Amino acid sequence: MTTAIARADRRVSPVFLALVAVMAVSGWAVWSEQLAGSTGFAVFLFVVSGWVVSLCLHEYAHARTALHSGDISVGAKGYLTLNPVKYTHALLSIVLPVIFVIMGGIGLPGGAVFIEHGRIRGRWRHSLISAAGPLTNILFAAVVSAPFWLDQLDGVPDPFRYALAFLALLQVTAAILNFVPVPGLDGYGVIEPWLSHNLRRQVEPFAPFGLLAVFGLLWVPEINDVFFDLVHAVLRALGVTDWDSYWGLEFFRFWQGEPQIPPVSGIG
């Protein structure tokens, strides 16, 4: 009976499989441009479903690392099923991220897994658990940008190319934001085990506001410029140009109509 329960705790959720299916079908629609006049809507579905899939993998990485570090409670909480409902608060983790993507093309870190830190021994393990999530975003960015850095774009339709570029941009923004060492973000979780007990107690009340503070600062033009300069520098290292990610965002905003792309593409 215990074994059966353990297996159920780790069985991949049908919700996650449905998200992967939506991502695959919408990706096919973008590639084949089957939705005449609605390529942007297909890009929107592809990017949003891809973003939620990456959110699931991000939180799964936290949970899986915690499991191997001693917190066996993550299974009973459903964190190993890749079910986004187990990780998310609908407003904070689904609605707000999509709004931030629409407004400024920023991958809002979302979701949460609650780790029983008392079960885990060793500061390095605590740090690795926090780092596992954003490292997954980096890996996801590397995967979706593979056609760019492998120089395998021949024959790839432009809309699909731009959608991949924009999805890669969201992963890079999420990874960078998550690694900011501010309470409430994974970056702080990485360094927290190495801080003094008194300092941690003083910082703890500010944790719920850390993410809001970071996004508030991103509305400062000078900080926003520095942030996106860093994002695009990483993307260029992956072979993704500013041109690619820009038109990915334009296709994503399907309600504005199909973007009119100048004749010369792929240069930026």
Which residue numbers are catalytic?
59
Q: 93: which DSSP letter?
A: I
CA distance 165 to 155: 16
Instruction: Give the distance, in angstroms, between the CA of residue 118 and the centroid of all CA atoms in the same chain.
Output: 28
Which one, of 251, 257, 258, 248, lies nearest residue 268 by Cα? 248
Q: For residue 262, how many C-alpha atoms fall within 13 Å in the half-sphere facing its CB? A: 8
Q: What distance, in Å, lies between the first and last C-alpha atoms of the chain? A: 59
DSSP character at residue 153: -
Please provide the size of the chain in residues.
268
Asked if 35 contacts 29 with a C-beta cutoff of 8 angstroms, the reply is yes
Which pair of structure tokens corresponds to residue 134?
């954003």
Q: Measure the CA angle with vertex 103, ends 40 and 229; round to 5°.
A: 100
Backbone angles phi, psi at 36, to 5 degrees: -55, 125
